[in-house]
Amino acid sequence: MNLAQIMALNQLKPGEQCPDPFESSGTFGSNVDILKGLVDDDLQEQVFSQLNGPKLISFDGDQTLYSDGANFDSNPRLANYLYQLLRHGVTVAIVTAAGYEYNVEKYEYRLSGLLHYFQSRGLTDEECGRFYLFGGECNYLFKLHSDYRLHPVREDGPGGWLTATQYLKETPGNWPDDEVLALLDISFEVASKALEELNLRGRVIRKKRSVGLVPIPGQEMTRESLDEIVLRVHEVVHRMNDGKGPGLPYCAFNGGGDTWIDVGNKRVGVQILQSYLGIPPNETLHIGDQFLNTGNDYAARDVAPCIWIINPQETTYVLKSILRLAGVSVRLPEERGDDSDASTDGHAELGEHSQEHINFEEMERRTKAVQMMDVYTGEMRPIT
């Protein structure tokens, strides 16, 4: 089913080749030689670099791009595939439940290896601008800039993502504050009661747009217990407002080692990206690992084709298949044995293992920072 989904997004028929836009019957019409002389090499490369496949690919974070509760610190092959997508005109977005409001450094800690890889390969300003991160399901939007740092996207005013998508009923800009607080209050109450009744080795934490029941450091909670909490939340929340529900989108899900109740969900997050970027659902693909009714990728099925994976290795294979169907080389720089192969990349071959281009001091700083951060709360803690 995953492969069928990928092939359906590839718009060429079997054996058909991508048309040359500079041919007389192509995009630029008849005066081909004149136009070729006026168009520089960079623009020609840009014209040919548009991927035949999805134009927007959104990803879950934990257990999709990196192990559950871990960080994207070392996965050069997956990083290379994401880099190739950006280079070939695809918008890449991480839509994650991890919510640290607009504390950008906390998201960067979790993506430190990926951002460093992008820097080592030298993405252009335009290519960087195709990478987004949506934190808290659909609450905090960031965009990668040419300094290889994530920057908050303006919410209000001209160009603001909330302003541009306010016609969408479920966008965060349309959520009444009292309804948000009511949902958080009842979620906190249910989670706290479950913690006591089930005698769980955990703690309940509350954030601006979410409530979580997370394990005490060094302890674990069973999947069955986490599912029980999700089901309890569903039952209580559905009874709100005389059985009409909370009145705004939410997501209660089992994260594998924890349970979260978020205001908003990934249906809203993906739909906002589609609207804000002008990319239709039939050119969108969402990849995640939580498609049960106790998961938080499930809701994305309402607005986009989806790929259900179980670990980052499957994500890597999915992206490899997308790139291969589009005719894009999937080899790492060090696997290319000659200059001709390297030249097709369009960038200087820096390579992630080249010592002269890697700032190991910065890598060590980011690694230590990741180890010190509590991924649930974003708080810094001593390394043990």
| Residue 176 CA from chain centroid, whole number | 27
All residues at 6 or more sequence positions from 217 whose CB lies less than 8 Å from its CB, including other chains: none
62 a catalytic residue:
yes
CA distance 84 to 336: 15
73 a catalytic residue:
no
- Reported for 307-312, long-range contacts at CB under 8 A and 24+ positions apart, including other chains, are 307/2, 307/5, 307/6, 308/1, 308/2, 309/2, 309/64, 310/63, 311/63, 311/67, 312/63, 312/64, 312/65, 312/66, 312/67, 312/75, 312/78
Active-site position among 62, 258, 262, 297: 62
All residues at 6 or more sequence positions from 309 whose CB lies less than 8 Å from its CB, including other chains: 2, 64, 287, 288, 289, 315, 318
- Per residue, the 3-state secondary structure of 289-320, as one string, reads CCCCCCCCCHHHHHCCCEEECCCHHHHHHHHH
Active-site position among 20, 42, 60, 185: 60
| Residue 234 CA from chain centroid, whole number | 26
Closest-CA residue to 323 (of 10, 111, 2): 10
113 φ/ψ angles, rounded to the nearest 5 degrees: -65, -40
Closest-CA residue to 273 (of 95, 53, 31): 95
**Cβ–Cβ contacts within 10 Å for residue 122, how many?**
15
Report CA dihedral (296, 301, 305, 309) to the nearest 10 degrees.
30
Catalytic residue numbers? 60, 62
